[in-house]
Structure formats: C-alpha cells, structure tokens
Amino acid sequence: MILEELLSYVQLDDTDRTRLVALHAKLVPHMPAIAERFYEAVWASPGAAAMLSGVDQIQRLRVSLIDWMSSGLLGPYDVAFNEKRSRIGRRHVQIGLAQHYMFTAINVVRTAYADRIAALHPPDEALLVIRSVDKLFDIELALMLRHYQLDSEEKLVARERRIQADRIAALQTMTAGLAHEVRNPLNAAKLQLELLERRLRRQGDDPKILEPVALAHHEIGRLTELLNEFLAFAGPPALHAGEHDAVAIVRHVLELERPLADRCHTTLALVATSDPAIALIDPGKLHQVVQNLVRNGLEASPGGTVTLTVGVAEGSLSLQVRDDGRGMTPEVRARIYEPFFSTKESGTGMGMSIVHNFVAMHGGEIAIRTGPQGTAIEVAIPRR
C-alpha cells in the first residue's frame, strides 16, 4: 500500500507518533484559530477563493479542516486514514483546484503549527516536534498529490483513446465508401470471367489458355477477401450474441487453418481447460477473432508451434494464442491495432483492428505479452 511505503520512506516512527498525539492535546484549543487563519489565506488568494461558494460553505469546511488536523495528529495511519486522505485528493481534483494550492495550503497550516509549537515547547523539544509534524505533512501532501497524478494519467489515456477513435471513424468512413465502390465492378469482372471460362472450356481444355483464367480467378478471390476485411472494419454488423460453445468454434477454426499450418510446417495445438466453454458470444465474430490471431501466429513462427488455450475463469471466457516466433518490436507493439499497419508485404493491416473491434463489442479486453521467445495474445470476454 502506498501509505506504508510513505511511512517507511519519511521514517515516521513510534517516537514521532507519540509526539504528534501529545501535540494534539495541546493544539486542540487553538485549532479553530488555525482554521480561521487558513481561510483568511484562502480568501486572500483570488484563484483559491474562486473555488468557494460563500460563508456557509466555509463554515462546513472549517469543521472538516479541524477534523483533518485532529485525525492527522492522532492517527492511526491505517487503511481508513489512507481512504480519507484519498477522498480529499479526489475532491480537489473534481472541483478543479490547481495542485499548487495544496502546497500553499499545507504551508499555512505548517506555519501555524510551528508558531504554536514554538510557544508551547522549549527550543530543543520544539525542533523535534516540528520534525515529526513535517513528516506527517509530507505524507499528507504525497497522498493528495497522488490523485492529481492518477487523474492526469487517466485524462492522457482518455485523450489518446479519443484521438484513436476519431482516426478510426474517419478511416471507417473512407474505407466503407471505397469498398462499396470497388465491389460492383469486382463482381462484374468475376461474372464476366466465369462466362469467359465456360466458353473456353467448350472450345477445349488447353492449359495455356485456362491457366491465366485460373490465375485471374485467384486474384479476384484475394481481392474479394480483402474487400470483405475492409467492410468488416468499416461497418461491422451488429452483435448477435447467444449461448455458444467457444471450444467448438475454436476447433472449427483450427480445422480450417490446418492446411496453412502444414504449408508453414507449424504445429497447431489446442488446450481446452474446459469442454465445453459456454459464453454469451457472437459465433461469427469470435470465429473471425480466432482466425486472425491463429493466422498471425502461424505466419510469425514458421516451423514452430502455435498453441491455443481456451477456458473459463472468474466469469470470463479466456482465449490465448501463443507462438514461439521472434516476438514484436516495441514499435510494432505500439501500432498493432492501427488500421492498414502491417509488417507483411501482402498484409492488409486490418486483422488486429478487426480483432480489437470485435472483442470490444463483446465488452472484452486484450492483453499482449511479447519477447524473443514468442508472443502470447490473451482475450478475456465476459461470459454474461
């Protein structure tokens, strides 16, 4: 816990705690005056005063400040103490109080304490008490400022997500328009090619004539598959979730991908920790998620092994695809979900974007662990 770390770091020991408890008994009569001094300083600062709504609020805050001073001196410095300070920090973040006011506020109370300590104790003893108070206030500040750091990190993550969402939305609009424009002439070309092939076969089965037609068929099929990927990214159909066995879906995908595994000389293995693994899922979308992850694994580890592990744990469907390839570089890892980004010459860069979209539609999460020994991609989807 962060509080335990802080207590150890500033070395607030039993002697300090004894001094603080003794100080509390002496300061209690002076705490209302310290609170008054505190809010006089607040009113004198336009930026801090702007956070206050009036006299009634100050009266309530004065009571809270006195309680804060008492609980700080008396302790105990436990979970309840940490939660109380955390609430103060969160509240300051919520009302938009700039963090530099926390330093100035603590300094007002620190100075008021020092003045009273100097008046109540001999010089040598006063110095020791002030040192104990300084340790306490350092802990108070650290706990409150921690929430500014957490809030800043959350805002940064949210900003990055908004930027990514805006970028994906723009790409989806462009991709949808392009894909629909290409689909009609592609279908027409495919139809005309089929008519041509029939005429050629009626005239004979000359391989020299039919091979180019077969090649054109293959390329049109590849373009159609690419087009379907674009459309799946640009406008994924609505989620049609039902009770389905994830293990059965994964087994079906593995059977479809075994020819590719054979061509890559890669072993494809399944570890099912529970059979069946029933969850509320869209079977078509889960099929596509697994298929994309398996193909990536096969292409990343030719001659190696790709292992799928499926099971249920703590209310979630768990799916892991692990390969023993060379792993991802930090640059690739950072861009893994970026549409149209691919490390393969013939790759579309859509696979992981589609995986991310479909997992998100299920309310799930993806975790990636990668290194020189390979990559493991873990998908967790709520079963309900």
pLDDT at 94 over 70: no
pLDDT in tens, 355-366: 888 888 888 889
pTM of the model: 0.49
pLDDT in tens, 241-285: 899 999 999 999 999 999 889 998 999 999 987 778 889 999 988
pLDDT at 345 over 70: no
Percentage of the chain exceeding pLDDT 90: 22
pLDDT in tens, 38-65: 777 776 777 666 666 666 666 777 787 8
- Better pLDDT: 75 or 86: 75
Kind of pairing between the strands at 267-272 and 305-313: parallel
pLDDT at 26 over 60: yes
Share the mean pLDDT of the chain. Answer: 82
User: Pick from 236, 235, 292: which is nearest to 260 by CA?
Assistant: 292
Compute the average pLDDT of residues 190-216.
Answer: 81
What is the residue type of 77?
Y
Both tokens of residue 138?
A: 């350092």
**Residue 131 — pLDDT band, cuts 50, 70, 90?**
very high
Contacts 24+ apart (CB under 8 A), 313-318: 315/382, 315/383, 315/384, 316/364, 316/380, 316/381, 316/382, 316/383, 317/246, 317/277, 317/279, 317/281, 317/364, 317/380, 317/381, 317/382, 317/383, 318/273, 318/378, 318/379, 318/380
| CA 275 to each of CA 1, 170, 310, 315, 340: distance values in angstroms, whole numbers, following the listed order | 39, 41, 9, 15, 36
Q: How buried is 294 (Cβ within 10 angstroms: 0-12 exposed, 13-18 middle, 19+ buried)?
A: buried
pLDDT in tens, 164-201: 667 766 766 776 667 767 777 888 888 888 888 888 88
Q: How buried is 223 (Cβ within 10 angstroms: 0-12 exposed, 13-18 middle, 19+ buried)?
A: middle
- Better pLDDT: 20 or 168: 20
